[in-house]
Structure 1
Amino acid sequence: MKTDDLISMMAAGVAPVDRRLPLRRMAQALALGSAGSLALLLLIYGLRPDLKAMLWAPLFWIKLAFPTTLAAGSLLVLRRLLRPGQRVGANWAGIAAPSLAIWLAGALVLAVAPAAERLPLLMGFTWRSCPFNIALLSLPLCAAIVWAVRAMAPTRLRLAGAVAGLLAGAVATMVYCLHCPEMGVPFWGLWYFLGMLIPAAAGLLLGPRLLRW
């Protein structure tokens, strides 16, 4: 068989690649993972009793904005990492900006607060359990995001795993806000962030094993 004939035979009937498939798969993963995380929240922790009143409080939406913007930034970075040869570049700002914003806001709150109130603002009431609660709620998201990422073509597996874990942790924190009673900005900047770092660290360690394709 001639080479041209072989190429023609192999190319016959090949359908064009759907370029929207990765986006759809990630959207499905986030939807399924978020549903699983919410189900865990309702089963284990429940909603905060005053949630309806909190929906009218601007501070609650500021609290929710921190993990939401961090999740969006993580998603932008992850999309670049899933395409071989593409640089992340300025997209790292999507992770750095909300992190720096919450740390600066927390530092400002601590600076103007009376000395006796600074430690309670930082530690809150739930510092012992908060990061681990977030990590637990991130498990369904981790599983779903790993499923989506494995179907793509990451080459920097540790970095992709870390950012995928951070994305899972950020979305889990969004869900956790529906339960968590803490309303101190310094608390969010420390304990929420540590909670998101747990799945990120797991992704860094397990990325080469879980994301290999």
Structure 2
Amino acid sequence: MKTNDLIGLLATGVAPVDSRTVTRRFGAALPLGIVGALLIMSLFFGIRPDIRALMVSPVFWAKIAFPFCIALAALASIVRLGRPGQRVGYGWLAIGLPFVVVMVVAAGVLWEVQPDERVSLLLGKTWKICAFNILLLSVPTAVASFWALKSLAPTRLRLAGAVCGLLGSAMAAVVYSLHCPEMSPAFWSVWYTLGMLLPAAIGAWLGPRILRW
């Protein structure tokens, strides 16, 4: 059989892939993951009792905006990673920019206070548990993201797994913000960042094992 005949045979009956498949997959997976994170938070942590008063605080919305922007960038990147041959492009810049902004703001906050106050701003009251709480809350959304991505065609499995973990942890940090008592960007720059990077590292390890076709 000639090469052209073989190609024609393999191509017979192939239907075009619906471009909305990715949107449908993640549109179904992410709400389930977020609901799961909210349920875990309600069972183990609870929502801050002063949450209504915080709704008028710009700092509170900044705390939510930090991981939310990372989640949006991670989602855009993971959609591209699910399609063979597509580059993430500026997605890496979009993922990294919120981290840089928060670190710059944190440096400014620490610069303005007395040296003996800096450690308390960095550690807050919950530094021992913050990153691990975000890691726990990241599980439902990370699992849902892996499920959605596995049905696509990722080729860079370790990278795709890392972004799945980051997406899960970023959404977990958004949910955790409803409970977390810490309001200093210096705290977020260390412990929220660590809480988001831990699941990303775990996702990078799991990617080749779970996403392999």
After TM superposition, the structure 1 stretch with the greater mean CA deviation from structure 2, 107-116 or 165-174, is 107-116
CA distance in 2 between counterparts of 1:75 and 1:201 reads 17
Question: Helix, strand or coil: the match of 1:19?
Answer: coil
| Cα shift readout 1:127-156 (whole Å, capped 9, x = no counterpart) | 000000000001111111110000011000
Tell me if 1:98 matches 2:106.
Answer: no
The count of corresponding residues between Structure 1 and Structure 2 is: 208
TM-score, with length taken from structure 1: 0.93
Residue by residue over 1:161-184, the C-alpha shift from the partner in whole angstroms, topping out at 9 and shown as x without a partner, is 001100100000000001000001
Equivalent-residue separation in structure 2 for 1:96 and 1:171 (angstroms): 16
Distance 1:109 1:84 in 2: 43
Distance 1:76 1:104 in 2: 25
| SS of 1:56 mapped into structure 2 | coil
Secondary structure of the residue aligned to 1:85 is coil
Matched residue of 1:46: which SS?
coil
- Deviation of the 1:17 alpha carbon: 2.8
What is the rounded CA distance, in whole Å, between the counterparts of 1:201 and 1:91 in structure 2? Answer: 18
- Aligned equivalent of 1:198: 198
Look up the match of 1:78: 78
Partner in structure 2 of residue 116 of structure 1: 116
Task: Measure the CA separation in 1 of the matches of 2:15 and 2:159.
Answer: 32
Q: Distance in 1 between matches of 2:88 and 2:140?
A: 26
- The runs of at least 4 consecutive aligned structure 1 residues that moved more than 2 Å come to 14-17
From the superposition, tell whether residues 203 and 69 of structure 1 become closer, same or farther in structure 2 (CA, over 3 Å): same
Identity %: 51
Asked whether the equivalents of residues 64 and 177 of structure 1 are also in contact (C-alpha less than 8 Å), the reply is yes
Aligned AA for 1:35?
V
Cα offsets for 1:41-100 (capped at 9, x unmatched): 001100011011111111100110000001111112212211111112222111111110
Q: Deviation at 1:15?
A: 5.5
User: Is 1:24 aligned to residue 24 of structure 2?
Assistant: yes
> What is the correspondence of 1:139-178 to structure 2 with a 5 Å cutoff?
139-178=139-178
The CA deviation at 1:117 is 1.1
Q: CA RMSD in A?
A: 1.8
> 2:17 and 2:88 mapped to 1: Cα distance?
24
Q: Residues 76 and 94 of structure 1 are in contact (CA less than 8 Å); yes or no, is this contact kept in structure 2?
A: no
Which ranges of structure 2 fall in alignment gaps of 5 or more residues?
A: none
Give the structure-2-normalised TM-score: 0.93
Aligned partner letter, 1:50: D
Match of 1:53 in 2: 53
Q: Which amino acid aligns with 1:67?
A: P
Whole-angstrom distance in 2 between the partners of 1:171 and 1:72: 9
| Separation of aligned partners in 2, 1:84 and 1:26 | 17
Quote the Cα distance in structure 1 between the aligned partners of 2:194 and 2:91: 22
| 1:89 match: secondary structure | coil
C-alpha distance in 2, partners of 1:76/1:93? 12
Matched, 1:211 2:202: no
